[in-house]
Amino acid sequence: MSALLDSIKRHEGYRSRVYKDSLGIDTIGYGFAIKDLVLSETVSTIILSEKIATLTAEVHEKFSWLKNKPDHIQDVVIEMCYQLGVTGVSRFKNTLKAMQDERWDDAADGMLSSLWARQTPSRAKELSEIVRKTV
């Protein structure tokens, strides 16, 4: 199995981003055609874990004040960034300032008065309640 694995890896080559193969099919990794790719929950969890680790570093670099806040507040901001991107969350200026100043009710209210909350109301409500309960 190891020789087969090594041979396929060598012939296919590795690409970390989606590319078009010689037939124009979206492909990633070691020649995985996206249209045929089936991910197990285990593999998806591994990918998600790696994405969260990378995202956490990016979030802490962008919002350096966040490192000094409770873990659950960091988790809320990271989850928002996972969904909206760091740039998208950066637009929550008043909400982020309220979090930075530990004005948790104002931060929660800001979260709920957003387009994001109208688009994904259950998630926004759940995350805003976590923020609101911070003491």
For the stretch 43-81, pLDDT in tens is 999 999 999 999 999 999 999 999 999 999 999 999 999
| 33 vs 12: CA distance, rounded Å | 12
DSSP annotation of 63: S
What is the percentage of the chain residues whose pLDDT exceeds 90? 98
DSSP string across 75-112: HHHHHHHHHHHHHHHHT-HHHHHHHHTT-HHHHHHHHH
List the domains of the chain with CATH numbers: 2-36 (no CATH), 41-132 (1.10.530.40)
Q: pLDDT tier at 29 (50, 70, 90 boundaries)?
A: very high
pTM value is 0.88
What would the two tokens of residue 17 be? 């981003």
Residue 1's pLDDT is 75
Q: What percent of the chain has pLDDT over 70?
A: 100
pLDDT (mean) for 6-14: 95
